[in-house]
Structure 1
Amino acid sequence: MNSHSEVPVSHDRSSGNAQDYGMAATRADVLSQVLTLIRLRGELVYSAQLRGPWSIAFPAGPAHFYFISSGSAWLTPLGAAPVRLGCGDMVLLPHGTGHVVGDDLATPPVPIGQVIGAHFDRDRSVLDYGGDGAAASVVGGLFHFEGGSLAAIMAALPLVVHLQAGPGKPPDWLNALTHFLVKESHEVEPGSSLMISRLIDLLVIRTLRTWAASQAHPNSWIGAIGDERIGRALNAIHAAPFAPWTVRQLASLATMSRTIFAERFTARVGEAPLQYVKRLKLTLAADMLAGGALRITQVAERVGYASDAAFSRAFKAQFGYAPSEVVQRQHGIGGEDGAVAGGARSVRA
């Protein structure tokens, strides 16, 4: 890698020294940048009127969200403990984990395919299901992330992202977004599919932002969002990921000594500053290679490696396979994405 300490002009990115990057970083938003890189895509939304006893099993596939507009429910992700969802709660399953959602933990779950076949109004995207017991109203939806090579970044998110309503009503933004989502799904008009996708994007991003702000000290980039000083350095890294950052430069942005900065960054993010920079560069390199427009030599140069050999060694150490294998592996990921999208559309079709 380049060893000089000056931060050069980066490819079509902000230029100048570390202070210039710090000024640009004040306008940066790590969460937005990460979500842009992984290309969040909303798929569909539906409203569910449910009466106990009811229990529905969803296979692994697209990511899900649920908003409990009335009543309550239990969510049980595959291999994880059940989560009690109360009225006004919002929950994301960002990894597309197979799960069961129901009114209790004792009712045998019915596969979603069987439930849809008999109880789903495809014209209005309404699910009416259950017995004659306690009622619950749920707004559900599907989304997915297309940036398969960014799995290491997304691994920072837990299986379940849970926003609890607490006392009083849910926040206004949550009520407003779910209201318009349901309205668009019930009253299908030209442009409704695009509107639903964009609203899901907003809902997921706002949920992640609100949840991240509530986390005290998670060991990931999420934990740094709420830390003003470490956040400045992290924002600068994301604003110019291919710059040859040094601990001194990043510590200066954070207005901290190098030692204290390195310790605090590692505690907040879960890895040392330059290791984070290296992993981000290689992750972005994998995404560029998957796009097919650049050769390995071009990507290696763009992300700051002096030779193909050095780049290939670092890449393989990070991901476990060589850069030349990315296109084939991405083809497999694309197939999975297609299956996810197809599965999501089949709920509506």
Structure 2
Amino acid sequence: MDALSDVLRATRLKGGVFLHAEFSDPWCLSSQVSPENCARFLDSASDIIPYHYVLEGRLRVKTKDEPVVVLGPGQVVLLPRNDLHILGGDLSLAPVSGDDVVVPSTDGGLSTIRLGGDGERTRIICGFLGAENLDCNPIVSSLPSVLELAVGQGSGAEWIRSTFAYAADEIAAGRGFGNHSG
């Protein structure tokens, strides 16, 4: 077994999707995900790596120390240090705190955010990877604070796209996650 595999196995990452957001320009939001935000989907984790997957539209993401990243449909951004970050169509606007506009699910499904004006629409799915003591993990520590993933490339690209598309369809149909009968 190689050293990288040993480190990844020891990390014991858990993850999930916890939020569906619909924005329309102009909008700007600040966010920092806490383990409590993901508690329904996560037994325990001291550290969270949030991610945002763009279903539709354009998403701009900025942290204090990194340049703006612009994402389109099918792209993912991870925030390995879980820094406070700004999301928006127009990052020059004063950001609204995500905590102030999130609507928790009443049925165990995904929380939602709807924010913005009458302009171009952006839809995203927000999720997380969680583990204990990620700050001590040499791989995670070496990552930049904002990491854009090229989901459209590689052998798992279609699986990733179809998984998020399925999640979006379930949400749009009002079935969400956690309230299936059967």
Q: With structure 2 as the length reference, what TM-score do the two structures score? A: 0.73
Q: Which residue pairs with 1:188 in the alignment?
A: 178
Q: Which residue pairs with 1:114 in the alignment?
A: 100
Misfit runs of 4+, over 6 Å? none
Matches within 5 A, 1:189-208: 189=179
Greater RCO structure (CA 8 Å; 6+ sep): 2
Matches within 5 A, 1:52-201: 52-59=25-32, 61=34, 62-116=48-102, 120=103, 122-123=105-106, 124-125=109-110, 126-148=112-134, 150-164=136-150, 171-182=157-168, 183=170, 186-189=176-179
CA distance in 1 between partners of 2:123 and 2:3 (Å): 34
Q: Which residue pairs with 2:21 in the alignment?
A: 48
Aligned-residue RMSD, C-alpha? 3.0
Deviation at 1:163, TM superposition (A): 2.0
Q: Output one character per residue of 1:129-165: Cα deviation in whole Å (capped at 9) or x when no partner.
A: 2111110111111232213573334212221221246
Deviation at 1:180, TM superposition (A): 4.3
Greater strand share, structure number: 2
| 5+ long unaligned stretches in structure 1 | 1-24, 191-349
1:36 aligns with 2:9: yes
Matches within 5 A, 1:264-303: none
Indicate conservation of the 8 Å contact 2:12/2:131, yes or no. Answer: yes
Q: Equivalent residue of 2:137, what SS?
A: helix
Structure number with bigger Rg: 1
Identical aligned residues as a percent: 24
Indicate conservation of the 8 Å contact 1:45/1:181, yes or no. Answer: no
Deviation at 1:188, TM superposition (A): 1.5
CA distance in 1 between partners of 2:84 and 2:128 (Å): 13
CA distance in 1 between partners of 2:29 and 2:135 (Å): 31
Indicate conservation of the 8 Å contact 2:49/2:81, yes or no. Answer: yes
Matched residue count = 159
Indicate conservation of the 8 Å contact 1:87/1:165, yes or no. Answer: no
Greater helix share, structure number: 1
